[in-house]
Amino acid sequence: MPALLLLLLSTVVFGALLHLLLSATSSLRRSRHLPLPPGPKGWPILGNLPQLGAKPHQTLAALSRTYGPLLKLRLGRVDVVVASSASVAAAFLKTHDANFSCRPPNSGAEHIAYNYQDLVFAPYGPRWRALRKLCSIHLFSAKALDDFGHVREQEAAALARSLLAPGEGETAVGEEVNVCVANALARAVMGRRVFGGGLGREAEEFKEMVVELMRLAGVFNLGDFVPGLGWLDPQGVVSDMKRLHRRYDAMLDKMITEHAVGSRRAGGSGAEDLLSVMVGLRGKALDAESGAISNVDIKALLLNLFAAGTDTTTSTVEWALAELIRHPRVLAEAQREIDSVVGRARLVSDGDLSSLPFLQAIVKETFRLHPSTPLSLPRMASESCEVAGYHVPKGATLLVNVWAISRDPAAWPKPLEFRPERFLPGGEHAHVDIRGTDFEIIPFGAGRRICAGMSLGLRMVQFLTATLVHAFDWTLPTGQSPEKLDMEEAYGLTLQRAVPLKARATPRLDQQAYN
């Protein structure tokens, strides 16, 4: 009897193993018979790299109209697949999200972001999850957003006062907003402002460093794709990255030192900011699976927060105001809405935002036309898979063309028009969200590696746009007409304006509102 049971058990196990083997073989055979996604023929050695042009998101959008919403490129030795429709993006970022949770190697993460020790480019795993959780609790949770609401209000008020300064010239909107965002973020992260009033030398240098970082991070560096070219650095990208990293490293060391001095002077009281928490954890493991947190880990995370956290918000607010200047009817309607809720005796408060649906629609429409990250940060296939009837090989790099998806005429009627009404009740996209669940518009990405700071970023864009719209009337410098305002894009990791917005701000509220 025991022998019979053993025989039966052996037969079952053998059958199960045979089934798994046949299934795996069948799957492998089927994947080998699936075609690769279509795409343009590339050059020898360089592949399609020379075809990307100065604005790769636009080039790839044009290629998708020829080859379809899933196309394949060969950049040097690297297979790259590009998703340019909502359905294909959902297949990658929802259905196959786990398979595309890691980043491919790249020189920016190595030479700027402390050799992958930051949150944005860190390998997916326990350490990444622990860092993300730390930021979520102290910066991005609903409680943290509410706790720091007064900080955003105070810095927005300081921005409004700075725009009241007398002078004949126009305002460099992006620079002013960048100071406001950096100070609001710094107070949440480290308990103090990093810039004084107005646009000082340090503030201008910081803005320039952030723009340079985003430009370099958006470059398709030949050394990342063609073996043997890395040491030559033919574009000079790596040397620029190393130089910029040294500047950032000195700035972050200074921030940490000054924070420590400030904490000692305060006697350790009220030290609940993120930097204090991280310094307190230095030398300790974040959890059972992660290594000890180091000073480099702290600087890498600060680099993420101050670079990505300021630039994406600043550029989006700048785009929003530019669109409103071009569309005075929309600007006037937004002002009427805010006046009806807030009045003219005070500035907008953080708590007013939920009562401003038209303002929220303006922000959504701005994210649609001008997503802060036009091409998603790259992901890499851990295993080969099938998407939309095509074979995606293991190790392939995934790029999601967020810019093309949100301008897809199949999903968006009159996609090139600025029409916030499409998001209002009764509009064709009234129920579309921008938080990564509706793939027609994913300015923050989607899936496991969705932007960690999405909640804070969205709140900041809404709040600062509302403040600028409510507190001021806006006109362009003499000789410029709104219809002809330059709306050209400058490509980088984030979508900058090719020509920074300069405009005149005229106060429209009671004087007491600005005090």
451 is in an annotated binding site: yes
Which string of DSSP letters, residue by residue, matches 368-426? HHS-SSSBPPPEE-SS-EEETTEEE-TT-EEEEBHHHHTT-TTTSSSTTS--GGGGSTT
Q: Are strands 489-490 and 397-400 parallel, antiparallel or unpaired?
A: unpaired
Q: Are strands 78-83 and 397-400 parallel, antiparallel or unpaired?
A: parallel
20: enclosing H helix or E strand:
helix 2-33
Question: Hunting for tokens 């070219």 — which residue is that?
Answer: 229
Classified as helix, coil or strand, 172 is strand
| Helical packing angle, 149-163 and 173-190, nearest 10° | 150
Give the span between the Cα atoms of 360 and 87, in whole angstroms: 25
Which string of DSSP letters, residue by residue, matches 437-482? SSTT--TT--GGGS-TTHHHHHHHHHHHHHHHHHHEEEEPPTT--G
Torsion of CA 81, 382, 376, 30, to 10 degrees: 30
For residues 359 and 466, the answer to whether their CB atoms sit within 8 Å is: yes
| Helical packing angle, 295-326 and 328-342, nearest 10° | 110
**Separation in Å, CA 292 to CA 104, 112, 237, 396, 460:** 24, 21, 32, 32, 32
Q: Enumerate residues 6+ apart whose C-beta is below 8 A from 297.
A: 114, 117, 131, 278
Single-letter amino acid code for the residue at 42: G
For residues 96 and 411, the answer to whether their CB atoms sit within 8 Å is: no
Question: Is residue 503 exposed (0-12), middle (13-18) or buried (19+ Cβ within 10 Å)?
Answer: buried
Helices (H), 191-327: 201-217, 222-225, 237-265, 274-281, 295-326
Q: Enumerate residues 6+ apart whose C-beta is below 8 A from 131.
A: 119, 122, 286, 297, 301
- Which residues define the annotated binding site? 451
- Which residues define the annotated binding site for heme? 451
